[in-house]
């Protein structure tokens, strides 16, 4: 019942159990069938290998689907190193299968935070053949941890020690600072060399993208970045339809709980919240939404959800799901006031949506581990709550994340972004770009045949009437889908 | 059973039957209760009257909801003249109630095309007190007919006679040309004077907005324009939730047809198509979607709709709804191949989505009028189809259009746009603008209390973490909702 | 805007306006296409005319669909007289079309209660050619009014005057008593002669069936009765899917109200309530259910509805719909405590689910008629509610009732029941029967082809494994579907 | 990754791994919170112990929920022995927890058929203290295997050897015959003694109930039986809402497949099929239904599902689910013609809905095991299908079956049935009984508070009007819910 805590490192990889490679490979084969976009890109670019020899570091949940992404990047020429971007999200058989092919991968389910950031560094460290390390030329990021590490390391080497020496707001923050101090000793000037070679990053997630825009606005972004999250075929598919499939999967594998008849609170009604709410309602739960944004709140109301505050649901709701990208959504004072045996989980990128540290520190609280990623916290009052995946992404911590087909959309965008960044490395500025709509439509198009969709084709007269090319793109930039 | 064809014109208005004014007023009272956004704007600006004395021409379906919009514009100072923007969309009791208050309105249900364009001209013609006419200073447009007329009239007065003398692709086109020729004789230089005073237009609909962007791109746009359609609180509410309510209403009032068990084809899966498909499915119809855009097609597939071509549905489907904004979607060869007694209708802005003229001209076809806006066309084969509202907006032709609450969102945007255009008339260029997100959020906010929504409020720390103001706006411009 | 109050009686009929017959006929033609079950029965029995010369009285909403039922009964030989079973449910063009064919029909939209019961008597009175009247041999009943009248008349003629002389609980009750006293004078012994010829009744509705079982249990039932309501193809179709289509239709035609975002209370979660709740939710309303039965309440909860009492929703809910078959569900003290401009309506068979009489009698209340079947009641507090169809069936009072296709199921059962009653008139006892499952399946089967359903056929080996005939019936009697 | 094949038998039990008992106990604790019906019955009868000393054999999926049932039976006095009713459905931690309490349980996930039937015999064999065995006085059955074994054993001891010596249609049939022959040698006269003590059986499932009615009709039923399946709170909850939750759970845990956009075929539209179809559609799959029964087919059509034959979906559908209770639904010739990598599974009680034996025997087929209960069969053509749980119940084989809350309904009925059978053992005949509606309502009532439902209470006047007791039961026997 315990997740492995000692990776069976042997060659240039660290994974839980290499003997799982065969099983992983079987599931990769199945996933390839469900990922027509990636496979098509592979087919199209395998001959020209646009990323030939390019050093690519990936920091992205090490799942079966990611394995297909990794092998796509390799097929088009890249030299890949990989880490997961979450301590619980690795599927060990996927990591094993990748390691077995000789690709350096550093990831296992249930890392400590120290191990996690060491893995991130490992994924960044391309041996230079002389005992030293080169950095990546491109980064595939999810949540921005690699981007953060390089920026913070570079800042330190530029002589700004204020951050590493400041008091830390969380344990994780201190772990990063410790790592940077260690690197400063072991590899002097390393981050400056990394930045010199670094040509770009493509970022997957709302939260990571938000960080990138903040860096760009502050004029601190060190490379061109492509915002993959806001491709329509990412945000309106992965975030929405992905969560519609994987939230319930996480809840079910964690607690086998009946959703029908339950009162479920979804905090946030963005794309992720929309997918979560739709799924819970479809199971027969009564869904209550919380929102800060009046437009999203009105959308929720138009779909028939009650919209109110977390406070107003305490004692009534059975399940809480945070989806906001914001912090301190479910606070300790909420948790102690919940209905006995309420379930609390998060499906936003970071775990600070729920005050987990404060929960653990609460006087009189007793933590009972039910099984990996499922904990019961019993309060002094006798009431208890269930916390899933320690507040980290419940779909990846308690289940296997989004299914392959929707990830094929996201990862097709990632791959096209990587190709684009490399192709235009001399032209792009250190800003945040979005992929052109034509590519967005192309990603969609690559997924239609697999599910039997037959498109209508514009006549020339119709295209002329609309003032769009017959082949697209079809919509103005501001179109919302 | 017959719609009135002779307006009971008396003073400066033309409506079907002034005696309907009392009934209209009662329904306006009810609508005001359902339109909190408009009423709130009224309350806020009634004292300062930001449109004081401004001549405003409206071309927008003359319904009960529009009556509330008109009276809001008047309350904030405007001098209003109004026409409908569709020959079938007027609610005669609404028009009567407006006429009864002394506001010039030119609209009745069942106009001929000649009458329709005359009404549009009437709405444009503000008596100058000397027997002549001034034009509007602001225009509220829906579909762009007023904008078209002014632009075409101005072009003619600029000496370019090519268009008015070219062969017409439709009867309506010829009607417009005839009107312009008549005005040229009766009011020489009129359009040039109109353009001199004209300060801006706010446009309501996808189709009209599309026209505006085309004018702007061609550098022919004569005034600043505000694209109201693409306010989130318009396109993602009116187009989507409005149609989700009013399509079935049109079908039911037209034919009382059972929707459960039927096969329904929705052509186009934009916001309007999404609303229509959701509604039909909820009634138990099996919905098939047609699309040209791979992204929208993939969205439809993710919702479980079959996506194929119109051709592939012929003989199988019972109901066809066009929502595309494009032309020639349902063609004569489609209609003759449909299942016997299939229902064909359109909910896109213009009636050219269905080839109605060609249908009427088809050899051997026999038209049987069932009741106003419901016609049966019997083919030589013996099979028949039902055509609703002669291919014009079925929700307005056969029912009463969108309900008040959602129109309050759209019309709040219209009103804010009118105020904005006038306030910034000296600053805006002849381009197409979108209302700032702050106003969009404000429109949403004005509608929350009425339906019992309770918003969560960001803490300062959370706002800081997100990098947004506590009061909003909350989302980046590219956010799609 | 006014419903006709004086029927244009001429021959042996009373209808609102005979000139509507052409329009009615066109809609009957359309309905025939949507009623494959009835048309198939017509085709099958037209030659053998199993009801040849049989006097049939119908008391059932005089709609377009009922017109197809009437003509089916006539086609298979019956001598038919008809009245509506609700003062608001007649479609005047349907009644006109039936009258125009020479069938005696007594029905118009907006009858007084006195007129209503006179019409019922007219429908019962087959001229005997000698200036007197015969009664029906078979009755098609909906709600049991004809059955009630005959039983009460017979009781009176048997010498039991207790009921007709007792104080009346409602105005309607007194109207019935007055009628019976008048008949007693004008047609002595009439009811006894009627009962002598009467061979059976088929009853359509939950409420009417409930009355029949009560009569049978009390050993007072005078004829064999067939409970058509509890054919699966009636109760699980008409009640559920019919209301899912027609409730919103009634609300929309009455008030054009936006349903999305509203809080709607559905009282009762039987088949009718299930259909209503599903419809309202699909429109984006938040639905609250009230129930007395724990099983139905648990079903509602499993579908994600909040289940609570009417009292707990006052001030929060916008729309109330009663579906219970019980009385005093919405009481005056509820109505005065509702949110301003709440909408109150009933879709159960009788109008006593809402305390309309008490509402009208309330001190300080002011009734404002908006249009036929839509009234605003303004309370002394200044708050108001809208009452639809005076508390009678909102779908029939404010719209046109259920659509044809689902009524074809119900009416096929009615027709088969009439044939069955006549065929077995010598064998049946004075009990309540249900149609055999084989006929129930047959009714379903008759409707499949029209909507493109392709059934799988059991192999002999499979049928043997299941222990059922290849041709059905397939399920045990207790099966619930 | 391998399921245990050697039970760690020690005392009077056989389970996979007794060390899982602690984990099982934690989950039993959680389940108790979700099973208010069972816990309430426990509380009510713990003092009176109505089953005091009664020997009860259970043959029912050995899950966490069943553990709560077992401990409820023990709490009310029973002497329990248990086996699972499916080779894949046991949750090993649940079995361990039960074994750890000293209750004899014989069940592990992944039994062979020989082991399965041996376990069934073990569960039937109560040590008599003299080295021999007594049989059960009551049986809790699911699918009827215990009932079958006793009846067949008794038949053999009555001298009818025809069945045990006949050729077997399946491997399992032969396993049963071999077992009976062995018992005949080892325990002469055993079944006759068992039958002498046996007082009744309560049966859980549609399929088992069907067998009971067949026995009763053939006058071969040896004891009174209670049909628990057709309690409303079982068939309309467990079958419908249970499968709505657990089908997708099985699919997800087996293959992590994206359901949105897939074409899924649900064979059978009974309660189980209704739940499966609703779930798949909610995930965004396009659902096609197959049916033999015209009524169920029409229901499916009214919900907007395409209804056609399996044959018509081959090459188009991605997922097949059988729910019929019939055999040979998915045949080998279907599987070889399916789309590459189609998923095939069953959620009906028995595995003969899919021709698994014939699939395995097919020339050229290659079986690739992906993980336990997930197999890929590659055909000679190169195409493949995935078969889940070897055709056995996919929700129990690949996930953990229905969630606790719905099982609390089913098992409350089971427990009430056991109490009822014992209480009336001297009065009941060897027929199939259904629990009285009052108990059915009581089971529902016990589950309302947990999910916050507030019932409305009839007034005396209302109850009188309806002719029902204020406390219920509220509906006639034929009511379908």
Question: What would the pLDDT profile of B417-433 be if each residue is shown by its tens digit?
Answer: 999 999 999 999 999 99
Chain D residues inside the 8 Å CB shell of B283: 304
**Closest C-alpha among B453, B338, B327 to residue B391:** B327
How much of chain C, in percent, has pLDDT values that exceed 90?
97
Structure tokens at B256: 């009382």
Inform me whether the pLDDT recorded for C6 exceeds 60.
no
Contact B261 D305 (CB under 8 A): no
* Cα separation, D403 vs D424, whole angstroms: 32
**Closest C-alpha among B345, B287, B297 to residue B317:** B287
Chain A residues within 8 angstroms (CB to CB) of chain C: 260-261, 281, 284-287, 298, 301-306
> Binding site for substrate: which residues of B?
63, 142, 204, 234, 238
- Rounded mean pLDDT of C43-52? 96
Q: Is A165 annotated as a binding residue?
A: no
C389: Cβ contacts below 8 Å, ≥ 6 apart: C88, C250, C254, C345, C346, C373, C396, C397, C398
Burial class (CB in 10 A: 0-12, 13-18, 19+), C277: buried
Contact D455 C230 (CB under 8 A): no
DSSP state of A173: H
Convert the pLDDT of each residue in D450-473 to its tens digit: 999 999 999 999 999 999 999 999
One digit per residue, the tens of pLDDT, for chain D of length 481 reads: 333 434 444 579 999 999 999 999 999 999 999 999 999 999 999 999 999 999 999 999 999 999 999 999 999 999 999 999 999 999 999 999 999 999 999 999 999 999 999 999 999 999 999 999 999 999 999 999 999 999 999 999 999 999 999 999 899 999 999 999 999 999 999 999 999 999 999 999 999 999 999 999 999 999 999 999 999 999 999 999 999 999 999 999 999 999 999 999 999 999 999 999 999 999 999 999 999 999 999 999 999 999 999 999 999 999 999 999 999 999 999 999 999 999 999 999 999 999 999 999 999 999 999 999 999 999 999 999 999 999 999 999 999 999 999 999 999 999 999 999 999 999 999 999 999 999 999 999 999 999 999 999 999 999 999 999 999 999 999 999 9
* Cα separation, A67 vs A24, whole angstroms: 9
Contact B284 D303 (CB under 8 A): yes
B142: Cβ contacts below 8 Å, ≥ 6 apart: B59, B60, B61, B85, B203, B204, B205, B208
pLDDT of res. B11 = 79
For the question of residue C84 being annotated catalytic, the response is: yes
Angle between helices A404-423 and A21-34 (to 10 degrees): 80
Paired strand residues for D378 = D366, D384
Q: Is D419 annotated as a binding residue?
A: no
Q: Which chain D residue has its CA at the smallest distance from A319's CA?
A: D451
**What DSSP string describes D20-43?**
GHHHHHHHHHHHHHH-HHHHHHHH
B128/chain A closest Cα distance in angstroms:
39
Q: Which residue in this structure is represented by tokens 């199209």?
A: A44
Residue A49, sorted as left (phi over 0), alpha (psi -120 to 50) or beta, turns out to be: left
Q: Is A147 annotated as a binding residue?
A: no
Q: Residue C10: pLDDT band by 50, 70, 90 thresholds?
A: low
Residue C305, sorted as left (phi over 0), alpha (psi -120 to 50) or beta, turns out to be: beta
Check if the beta carbon of residue C260 is closer than 8 Å to that of residue C283: yes
* Cα separation, A126 vs A132, whole angstroms: 8
Contact C455 D307 (CB under 8 A): yes
DSSP state of B18: G
Chain D residues within 8 angstroms (CB to CB) of chain B: 260-261, 281, 283-287, 298, 301-306
Run of H or E residues at C141 = strand C138-141
pLDDT of res. B10 = 53
Neighbours of chain D (3+ CB pairs under 8 A): A, B, C
* Cα separation, B319 vs B289, whole angstroms: 12
Angle at C91 between CA C85 and CA C96, to 5 degrees: 105
Run of H or E residues at B145 = helix B145-157
Structure tokens at A269: 């009604």
For the question of residue A142 being annotated catalytic, the response is: yes
Chain C residues inside the 8 Å CB shell of D295: 232-233, 236, 440-441, 444, 475, 481
What are the distances in angstroms from CA A165 to CA A173, A301, D95, D189?
11, 47, 54, 85
C161: Cβ contacts below 8 Å, ≥ 6 apart: none
Q: Which phi and psi angles does B266 have, rounded to 5°?
A: -110, 115
B-C contacts (CB, under 8 Å)? 116
Check if the beta carbon of residue A77 is closer than 8 Å to that of residue A52: yes
Paired strand residues for D182 = none
Q: How many CB atoms lie within 10 A of CB B450?
A: 20
* Cα separation, D365 vs D362, whole angstroms: 6
For the question of residue C89 being annotated catalytic, the response is: yes
Structure tokens at B121: 């001209």
Structure tokens at D151: 């009846």
* Cα separation, A390 vs A388, whole angstroms: 5
- For an interface test with C, which of B258, B313, B316, B408 has the most C Cβ atoms less than 10 Å from its Cβ? B258
Q: Which phi and psi angles does D176 have, rounded to 5°?
A: -60, -45
Check if the beta carbon of residue A123 is closer than 8 Å to that of residue A146: yes
Structure tokens at B119: 């009404």
* Cα separation, C18 vs D241, whole angstroms: 53
pLDDT of res. A293 = 98
Check if the beta carbon of residue B295 is closer than 8 Å to that of residue A440: yes
Chain B residues inside the 8 Å CB shell of A307: 448, 453-455
A34: Cβ contacts below 8 Å, ≥ 6 apart: A403, A404, A405, A408, A450, D257, D258
Q: How many CB atoms lie within 10 A of CB B454?
A: 16
Q: Is C376 annotated as a binding residue?
A: no
pLDDT of res. D178 = 98
* Cα separation, C181 vs C153, whole angstroms: 9
B364: Cβ contacts below 8 Å, ≥ 6 apart: B379, B380
Contact B294 A451 (CB under 8 A): no
Convert the pLDDT of each residue in C197-249 to its tens digit: 999 999 999 999 999 999 999 999 999 999 999 999 999 999 999 999 999 99
Chain D residues inside the 8 Å CB shell of B303: 260, 284
Question: Cα-Cα-Cα-Cα dihedral of A47, A51, A56, A60, to 10°?
Answer: -60
Q: Which residue in this structure is represented by tokens 């989700």?
A: B244
Contact A455 B307 (CB under 8 A): yes
Paired strand residues for A56 = A80, A138
Structure tokens at C478: 């207790």
Q: Which phi and psi angles does C165 have, rounded to 5°?
A: -100, 0
For the question of residue A246 being annotated catalytic, the response is: no
ipTM above 0.85, yes or no: yes
Q: Which of A373, A404, A410, A413 is catalytic?
A: A410
Chain A residues inside the 8 Å CB shell of C306: 286
Contact D284 A257 (CB under 8 A): no
Chain C residues inside the 8 Å CB shell of A303: 260, 284
Q: Which chain D residue has its CA at the smallest distance from C446's CA?
A: D294
Q: Which phi and psi angles does C454 have, rounded to 5°?
A: -115, 115
Burial class (CB in 10 A: 0-12, 13-18, 19+), B142: buried
Neighbours of chain A (3+ CB pairs under 8 A): B, C, D
Contact C261 A287 (CB under 8 A): no
Structure tokens at C322: 């009663």
Q: What is the mean pLDDT of chain A?
A: 96
* Cα separation, C155 vs A148, whole angstroms: 91
Q: Any idea which residues of D carry the catalytic annotation? A: 61, 84, 89, 142, 204, 229, 234, 238-239, 243, 349, 402, 410, 414
Q: Residue B360: pLDDT band by 50, 70, 90 thresholds?
A: very high
Contact C295 D232 (CB under 8 A): yes
Contact A297 B457 (CB under 8 A): no
For the question of residue C61 being annotated catalytic, the response is: yes
Structure tokens at A197: 């070679």
Contact D258 A279 (CB under 8 A): no
Q: Residue B6: pLDDT band by 50, 70, 90 thresholds?
A: very low
For the question of residue B245 being annotated catalytic, the response is: no
For the question of residue C145 being annotated catalytic, the response is: no
Q: Which chain A residue has its CA at the smallest distance from D35's CA?
A: A258
Chain B residues within 8 angstroms (CB to CB) of chain D: 260-261, 281, 283-287, 298, 301-306
B115: Cβ contacts below 8 Å, ≥ 6 apart: B7, B87
Contact B283 C244 (CB under 8 A): yes
For the question of residue A349 being annotated catalytic, the response is: yes
Contact C245 B258 (CB under 8 A): yes
**What DSSP string describes C277-311?**
HHHHHHTTPEEEEE-S-HHHHHHHHHTT-EE--SG
Convert the pLDDT of each residue in A177-194 to its tens digit: 999 999 999 999 999 999
- For an interface test with C, which of D293, D306, D433, D452 has the most C Cβ atoms less than 10 Å from its Cβ? D293
Convert the pLDDT of each residue in C239-278 to its tens digit: 999 999 999 999 999 999 999 999 999 999 999 999 999 9
For the question of residue A29 being annotated catalytic, the response is: no
Angle between helices A271-282 and D271-282 (to 10 degrees): 180
Give the one of B263, B402, B403 whose C-beta lies nearest to C452's C-beta.
B263
User: Which of helix, strand or coil describes residue A4?
Assistant: coil
Burial class (CB in 10 A: 0-12, 13-18, 19+), B425: middle
Contact C406 B256 (CB under 8 A): no
Convert the pLDDT of each residue in A301-346 to its tens digit: 999 999 999 999 999 999 999 999 999 999 999 999 999 999 999 9
Chain A residues inside the 8 Å CB shell of C305: 286
In b/e form, how buried is each residue of B209-241, taking b as 16+ CB within 10 angstroms? bbbbbebbeeeebbbbbbbbbbbbbbbbbbbbb
Check if the beta carbon of residue C245 is closer than 8 Å to that of residue B259: yes
Q: Is C2 annotated as a binding residue?
A: no
Check if the beta carbon of residue D366 is closer than 8 Å to that of residue D377: yes
């Amino acid at each position: 019942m315990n997740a492995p805590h000692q990776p069976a490192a042997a060659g240039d990889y660290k994974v839980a159990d290499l003997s799982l490679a065969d099983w992983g490979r079987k599931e990769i084969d199945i996933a390839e069938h469900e990922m027509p976009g990636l496979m098509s890109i592979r087919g199209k670019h395998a001959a020209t290998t646009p990323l030939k020899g390019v050093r690519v570091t990936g920091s992205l949940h090490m799942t079966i689907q990611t394995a297909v992404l990794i092998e796509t990047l390799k097929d088009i020429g890249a030299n890949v190193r990989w880490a997961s971007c979450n301590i619980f999200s690795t599927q060990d058989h996927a990591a094993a299968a990748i390691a077995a092919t000789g690709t350096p991968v550093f990831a296992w389910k249930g890392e400590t935070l120290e191990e996690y950031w060491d893995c991130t560094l490992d994924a960044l460290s391309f041996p230079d053949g002389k005992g030293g390390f080169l950095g990546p030329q491109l980064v595939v990021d999810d949540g921005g941890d690699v981007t953060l590490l390089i920026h913070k390391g570079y800042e330190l080497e530029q002589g700004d020690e204020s951050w590493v020496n400041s008091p830390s707001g969380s344990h994780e923050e201190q772990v990063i600072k410790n790592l940077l101090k260690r690197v400063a000793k072991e590899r002097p000037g390393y981050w400056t060399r990394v930045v010199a070679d670094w040509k770009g990053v493509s970022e997957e997630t709302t939260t990571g993208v938000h960080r990138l825009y903040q860096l760009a606005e502050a004029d601190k972004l060190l490379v061109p970045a492509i915002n993959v999250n806001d491709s329509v075929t990412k945000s309106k598919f992965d975030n929405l339809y992905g969560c519609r499939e994987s939230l319930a999967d996480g809840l079910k594998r964690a607690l086998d709980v009946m959703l029908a008849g339950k009162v479920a609170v979804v905090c946030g009604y963005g794309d992720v919240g929309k997918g979560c709410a739709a799924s819970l309602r479809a199971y027969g739960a009564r869904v209550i939404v919380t929102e800060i944004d009046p437009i999203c709140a009105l959308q929720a109301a138009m779909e028939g959800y009650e919209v109110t505050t977390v406070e107003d649901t305490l004692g009534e709701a059975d399940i809480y799901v945070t989806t906001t990208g914001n912090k301190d959504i479910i606070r300790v004072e909420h948790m102690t006031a919940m209905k006995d045996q309420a379930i609390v989980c998060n499906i936003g990128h970071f775990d600070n949506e729920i005050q987990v540290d404060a929960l653990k520190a609460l006087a009189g609280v007793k933590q009972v581990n039910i099984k990996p990623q499922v904990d019961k916290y019993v309060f002094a009052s006798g009431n208890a709550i269930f916390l899933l995946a320690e507040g980290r992404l419940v779909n990846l911590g308690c289940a296997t994340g989004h299914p392959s087909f929707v990830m094929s959309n996201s990862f097709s965008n990632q791959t096209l972004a990587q190709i684009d960044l490399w192709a235009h490395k001399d032209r792009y500025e250190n800003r945040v770009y979005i992929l052109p709509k034509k590519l967005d439509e192309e990603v969609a198009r690559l997924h239609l045949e697999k599910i039997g969709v037959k498109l209508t084709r514009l006549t020339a007269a119709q295209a002329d009437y609309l003032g769009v090319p017959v082949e697209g793109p079809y919509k103005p930039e501001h179109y919302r889908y």
